[in-house]
């Protein structure tokens, strides 16, 4: 863990999708048709399941990285995200803050390694 990421006790990723059956189905179909997109989903998930590459990379952070959908994210995280999804937040002892927005997540081009590097560079 780099010195700068040690300022956080956890990272919270919020997908641009809902976890309901209808929400998951709507996202899956929309993504295949090119009308729905979530840059965080591109990094963490393959067609149906979580990517092995993601699991391996996120374990190197040595702090929790928890993901949520819009409808199951904690209220404080939704408040800080201000309706901008996907987003990655960092929690410290007294604060929750946006650390990567959608544009920054997109710059990772679907790479778990690039996302972890961006988090380490904070």
Query: Lowest-pLDDT range, 49-53, 78-82, 107-111?
Result: 49-53
Q: Does residue 107 carry a pLDDT above 90? A: yes
Q: Going from the N-terminus, what domains does the chain have, and what CATH number goes with each? A: 5-120 (3.40.30)
Q: How far apart are the first and last CA of the chain?
A: 11
Q: Which residues of 68-99 are buried (b: 16+ CB within 10 A; e: fewer)?
A: bbbeebeeebbebbeeebbbbbbbeeeebeeb
Q: Does residue 46 carry a pLDDT above 80? A: no
Mean pLDDT on 16-38: 70
Whose CA is closest to 5, among 86, 91, 66, 73?
Answer: 91
Nearest-angstrom CA–CA distance, 12 and 29: 25
Quick check: 36 and 30 in contact, CB under 8 A?
yes
In this structure, what token pair is assigned to residue 20? 């309901």
């Amino acid at each position: 863990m780099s010195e700068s990421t040690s300022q956080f006790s956890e990272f919270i990723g919020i997908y641009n999708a809902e976890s309901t059956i209808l929400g998951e189905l709507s996202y899956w179909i929309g993504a295949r048709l090119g009308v729905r997109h979530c840059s965080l989903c591109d990094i963490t998930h393959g067609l149906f399941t979580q990517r092995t590459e993601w699991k391996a990379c996120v374990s190197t952070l040595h702090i929790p990285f928890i993901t949520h959908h819009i409808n199951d994210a904690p209220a404080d995280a939704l408040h800080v995200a201000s309706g901008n999804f996907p987003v990655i937040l960092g929690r410290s002892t007294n604060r929750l803050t946006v650390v990567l927005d959608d544009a920054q997540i997109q710059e990772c081009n679907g790479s778990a390694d690039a996302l972890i590097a961006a988090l380490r560079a904070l």
